[in-house]
Amino acid sequence: MIELKSVYKTWDHGRSYTVKDVSFTVQSGSVLALLGGSGSGKSTIVKMINRLIEPSRGSIKIDGEEITTVDPVLRRRRIGYVFQGIGLFPQMTVGEDIAVVGKLQGKGHELSATRIDELLDLVQLPPDKFRERYPHEMSGGQRQRVGFARAVATNSRIMLLDEPFGALDPVTRDDLQQQFVSLQRNLGLTAVIVTHDMSEALLLADTIAVLHNGELLRIGSGRELLTNPGHEYVRLMLDTPRRHAEQLHELMSNPGQGT
Query: For residue 119, what pLDDT band results from cuts at 50, 70 and 90?
Result: very high
Mean pLDDT score, 159-164: 93
Q: What CATH number is given to the structural domain containing 77?
A: 3.40.50.300
Contact (CB, 8 A) for 2 and 49? yes
Q: Which residues pair with 33 in a beta bridge?
A: 193, 208
- Which is more confidently placed, 258 or 182? 182
* pLDDT value at 242 more than 80: no
Residue 249 burial class via C-beta count within 10 angstroms: exposed 0-12, middle 13-18, buried 19 and up: exposed
| 239 occurs within a structural domain | no
Query: For residue 252, what pLDDT band results from cuts at 50, 70 and 90?
Result: low
| 171 occurs within a structural domain | yes
* pLDDT value at 32 more than 90: yes
DSSP run (H or E) holding 5: strand 2-9
pLDDT digits over 41-85, tens only?
Answer: 999 999 999 999 999 999 999 999 999 998 988 888 889 998 876
| 148 occurs within a structural domain | yes
* pLDDT value at 246 more than 60: no
| 231 occurs within a structural domain | no
| 121 occurs within a structural domain | yes
Mean pLDDT score, 4-23: 97
- pLDDT at position 102: 73
* pLDDT value at 99 more than 50: yes
- pLDDT at position 8: 98
| 250 occurs within a structural domain | no
Mean pLDDT score, 24-44: 95
DSSP run (H or E) holding 246: helix 232-253
Mean pLDDT score, 151-173: 88
Q: How far apart are CA 148 and CA 78, in angstroms?
A: 15
- pLDDT at position 256: 59
100 conformational bin, left if phi > 0, alpha if psi -120 to 50, beta if neither:
alpha
Query: For residue 249, what pLDDT band results from cuts at 50, 70 and 90?
Result: very low
Mean pLDDT score, 220-230: 93
Mean pLDDT score, 101-111: 68
| 233 occurs within a structural domain | no
Query: For residue 88, what pLDDT band results from cuts at 50, 70 and 90?
Result: confident
- Which is more confidently placed, 172 or 205? 205
Query: Mean pLDDT across the chain, nearest whole number?
Result: 88
* pLDDT value at 105 more than 90: no
DSSP 88: -
Q: How far apart are CA 163 and CA 39, in angstroms?
A: 14
* pLDDT value at 254 more than 80: no
Domain of residue 211: give its range: 2-222
Q: How far apart are CA 5 and CA 70, in angstroms?
A: 18
Q: How far apart are CA 63 and CA 228, in angstroms?
A: 31
| 243 occurs within a structural domain | no
> Total domain count for the chain?
1
